[in-house]
């Protein structure tokens, strides 16, 4: 077990000297490729996230990380036909539970997952490796790999794909340490894991919290634990569908994550699933085109250059049509890493079909936030646990 692994460079190429180190040996090893500083930050945060998801739900879990926040995270809930189609998974393709979890994590925000670092709670199998081989990704971390999976992954990126293995029995010290500007910071590790207690303090008139909502709120809360704050997460069907990370204002988190959740829901409508893409167009090009097709930005109009992408000219979806489709959405769960200071967050959440909310509570305006949730018929829990992550 090595005490030190030298890295390609630090956060940027001009920071040439970089390595990770632990007295007594590192719990991670490099099986292929050469990892960078940010790769390891993503890998170690992602591993903690999927380990927590597995511990909380008992299901295999996957995370797609970019710049030290999850673009998506999910557990192995079976995919519906439309979820397969929106993720470009043929109906004939068999998926293991772990592969299913990664398809969900990747499909949460396919634009942001481009060039991701992947984390798995379980041994990576051949089915999962075949899904990874189709996508643009920087690397993967898992507690182990099947021989067939390792062979597939080692062939990726002309043999330079980063593959990390981590000891699943490893437990870090209770204290976390980091250095900023030559000054050492020390704190207790955040050992929080959602439990029934987090959903027992229901503060709204609606007290009906389904098992599906508990599951999705659990996924959202654990995702927030490893998301740069401020952060808000929308979840559905055992996966995140919108993560708003690193915003200074809570409402901006809610809007950003809500916009991503809306795009996810629009992507699984028949209007988008049946777009007449030109034969041979790559999945990544399709992702970009769909994002542009659904954008309200006036400078973006893929319909004007439709010959580059489509076999026939598609009709542009109007704002009114999109609003009508989103208005039909329901059953979405939302969690926040800190309290909602104003009820405008509840208004924005309602626009994206949110029925269930988990948040710490503790605002001087809690009564107004609760009252607005009651107006929408939502169920809301106060966990009393803040989940800032920096």
SS3 179: strand
Q: What percent of the chain has pLDDT over 90?
A: 89
Which architecture, in CATH terms, is 4-171? 3-Layer(aba) Sandwich (3.40)
**pLDDT one-digit tens code per residue, 48-95:** 999 999 999 999 999 999 999 999 999 999 999 999 999 999 888 999
Q: Smallest Cα–Cα separation from 140: which of 170, 98, 174?
A: 98
Rounded CA-CA distance 195/289 in Å is 40
**Better pLDDT: 215 or 316:** 215
**pLDDT one-digit tens code per residue, 175-196:** 999 999 999 999 999 999 999 9
Q: How would residue 301 be classed by pLDDT, with cut points 50, 70 and 90?
A: low
The predicted structure's pLDDT at residue 297: 66
Q: What is the average pLDDT across 270-275?
A: 93
Rounded CA-CA distance 103/83 in Å is 9
The predicted structure's pLDDT at residue 229: 94
**pLDDT one-digit tens code per residue, 94-141:** 999 999 999 999 999 999 999 999 999 999 999 999 999 999 999 999
For domain 193-265+326-382, say whether CATH 3.40.50.300 is its number: no
3-class SS shares of the chain: helix, strand, coil, % to 5: 40, 20, 40
The predicted structure's pLDDT at residue 315: 84
58 contact partners, CB below 8 Å, separation of at least 6 = none
Q: Residues 376, 267: contact at Cβ < 8 Å?
A: no
Return the structure tokens found at 163.
């593959």
The predicted structure's pLDDT at residue 300: 60
Q: Which residues are catalytic?
A: 66-67, 230, 390
The predicted structure's pLDDT at residue 306: 78
In the chain, list all ranges with CATH 3.40.140.20.
Answer: 4-171, 193-265+326-382
* Total residues found in the chain within this entry: 390
The predicted structure's pLDDT at residue 91: 83
pTM for this model (two decimals): 0.95
Task: Name residue, tokens 């029925």.
Answer: 355
């Amino acid at each position: 077990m090595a005490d030190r692994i030298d890295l390609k460079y630090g956060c940027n190429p001009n920071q040439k000297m970089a390595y990770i180190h632990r007295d007594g040996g590192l719990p991670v090893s490099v099986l292929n490729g050469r990892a960078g500083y940010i790769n390891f930050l993503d890998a170690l945060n992602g591993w903690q996230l999927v380990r927590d998801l597995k511990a909380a739900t008992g299901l295999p879990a996957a995370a797609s990380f970019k710049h030290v926040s999850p673009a998506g995270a999910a557990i192995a809930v079976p995919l519906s036909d439309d979820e397969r189609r929106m993720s470009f998974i043929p109906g004939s393709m068999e998926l293991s539970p772990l592969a299913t979890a990664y398809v969900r994590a990747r499909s949460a925000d396919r634009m942001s997952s481009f060039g991701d670092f992947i984390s798995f709670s379980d041994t990576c199998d051949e089915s999962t490796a075949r899904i990874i081989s189709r996508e643009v990704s920087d690397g993967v971390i898992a507690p182990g790999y099947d021989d067939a999976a390792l062979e597939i992954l080692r062939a990726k990126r002309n043999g330079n794909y980063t593959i990390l293995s981590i000891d699943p029995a490893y437990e870090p010290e209770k204290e976390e340490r980091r250095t900023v500007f030559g000054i050492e910071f020390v704190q207790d590790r955040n050992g929080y894991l959602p439990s029934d207690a987090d959903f027992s303090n229901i503060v709204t008139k609606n007290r009906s919290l389904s098992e599906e909502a508990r599951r999705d709120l659990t996924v959202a809360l654990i995702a927030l634990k490893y998301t740069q704050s401020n952060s808000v997460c929308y979840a559905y069907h055992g996966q995140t569908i919108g993560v708003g990370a690193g915003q200074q204002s809570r409402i901006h988190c809610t809007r950003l994550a809500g916009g991503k959740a809306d795009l996810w829901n629009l992507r699984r409508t028949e209007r988008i699933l049946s777009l007449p893409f030109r034969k041979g167009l790559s999945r990544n090009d399709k992702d970009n085109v769909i994002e542009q097709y659904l954008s309200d930005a006036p400078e973006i109009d893929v319909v004007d250059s439709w010959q580059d992408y489509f076999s026939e000219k598609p009709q542009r979806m109007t704002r009114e049509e999109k609003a009508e489709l989103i208005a039909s959405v329901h059953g979405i769960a939302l969690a926040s890493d800190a309290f909602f200071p104003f009820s405008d967050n509840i208004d924005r959440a309602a626009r994206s079909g949110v029925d269930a909310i988990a948040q710490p509570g503790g605002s001087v305006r809690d009564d107004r936030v609760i009252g607005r949730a009651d107006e929408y018929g939502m169920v809301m829990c106060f966990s009393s646990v803040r989940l800032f992550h920096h």
